[in-house]
Amino acid sequence: MITAYGIPNCNTVKKAVTWLKDQELPYTFHDFKKQGVTAEQLNNWCAVFGWEKVLNKKGTTWRKLSQEEQDGVKDQGSAVAIMLANPSSIKRPVIEQDGKAILIGFQEEEYADILR
């Protein structure tokens, strides 16, 4: 089973979900703004992808944080704390298959290689 984690109004999430639908791959969508995300999930994703990749420093949410908050992110623990407090700062989507994180973001070629 595939689970796509993200927020529905994100363009990258929309592209990923459209790709999953076009490939007729069954999936469930988990809106982590409404349904939440746990520290355990974030730590698992960081173990797979690295906290620097899971924390989206290119997005609006990151830019809206104070300089003090940004400067305070020095390791996985501090990054997870920011992401728990600001779920939109998580790079998205995160794709899990059978409970294991396998993809982050959306690159069509990568999805095709891993999910087909």
Looking at residue 45, its pLDDT comes to 98
CATH code, 72: 3.40.30.10
Establish whether 46 is a catalytic residue: no
Residue-number span of the structural domain to which 17 is assigned: 2-115
Number of domains the chain is built from: 1
- The pLDDT, as a whole number, for residue 91 is 97
DSSP string for 24-82: T--EEEEETTTT---HHHHHHHHHHH-HHHHB-TTSHHHHHS-HHHHHT--SHHHHHHH
Q: What percent of the chain has a predicted confidence (pLDDT) above 90? A: 98
Cβ(89)–Cβ(62) below 8 Å: yes
Give me the catalytic one of 2, 10, 48, 115: 10
Give the model's confidence band at 116: pLDDT under 50 very low, under 70 low, under 90 confident, else very high.
confident
pLDDT tens digits for 43-101? Answer: 999 999 999 999 999 999 999 999 999 999 999 999 999 999 999 999 999 999 999 99
pLDDT at 41: 97
